[in-house]
Amino acid sequence: MNAVVELSRTAFDAVVMDLDGVVTDTALLHEKAWKAMFDGFLATRPPAQAEDHRPFENQDYRRFVDGMPRFDGALGFLTSRGITVSAEQVHTLAAQKDSDFQDLLAAEGARLIPGSSSLLIALRRTGFRTAIVSASRNCSAVLGRAGLTDFFDASVDGVVAAELGLPGKPDPAVYLEAAGRLRTPPERCVVLEDALAGVEAGRRGGFGLVVGVDRAGHGQELLEHGADVVVVDLTGVQVATLPAMEGPRP
């Protein structure tokens, strides 16, 4: 299941990748922030027969919030636990999660996932166009802290999605927007994703190759949701060397 993938300019022109959990380890910070917020909320909520107040778990993160816009993720998790609150309270919880995430980012930073730097350099050298996608509104800050801003030709994050009214994953809208900004049809683009909703978005969008990045032992789920192949991290994604007489394409 944990294969090695080689990307060639013969088959593809662009690579669109998710940020958190694919390029940087900030998915761990997002999960910590969601857990802190939800566990605090659940611990203070009065018992109710139809509601499940068990602590937030990794499975909840993967199924309901990973790769999703904050409001959608918060609402999805609460609904899964039989909890109904006002839209205003959902927004309040989502805002608390964002505050917790920013505190964690300031304290722990944005570390690169193995293979990120070498892959981005190889993609640049061979003329691939690149875009970053993130449901987070903190994408620019994370890229800046990681020193990666100049490696991407386009960015579609939570701020852009809100401005354009784009639905969140598993709808393919954010990935299709990224491909459009790269002036590349989806079938000539590769998607790199670690979230179940993300690989499903890549499949729905008709992208030429959807690579699931599995750092937590959930490769089979990624395949079931639309990944063509699964790698453990970006060291499993290689870039074919261009022939000596061929330079990078425009």
Alpha-carbon distance 176 to 169, whole Å? 11
Contact (CB, 8 A) for 64 and 78: no
Structural domains in the chain, CATH included, are 5-25+111-239 (3.40.50.1000), 28-108 (1.10.150.240)
Please tell me which residue in 13, 18, 60, 194 is annotated as part of the active site. 18
pLDDT at res. 111: 87
The DSSP symbol for 185 reads: -
Q: Is 13 an active-site residue?
A: no
Q: What is the pLDDT of residue 105?
A: 87
Catalytic residue among 13, 20, 60, 233: 20
* pTM (two decimals): 0.82
Q: What is the pLDDT of residue 173?
A: 97
Question: Is 18 an annotated catalytic residue?
Answer: yes
Q: Is the pLDDT of residue 250 over 50?
A: yes
* Sequence-separated (6 or more) residues with CB below 8 Å from residue 88: none
pLDDT (tens digit, 9 = 90+) per residue, 139-180? 998 998 888 999 999 999 999 999 999 999 999 999 999 999
Q: Which two tokens stand for residue 70?
A: 């904050």
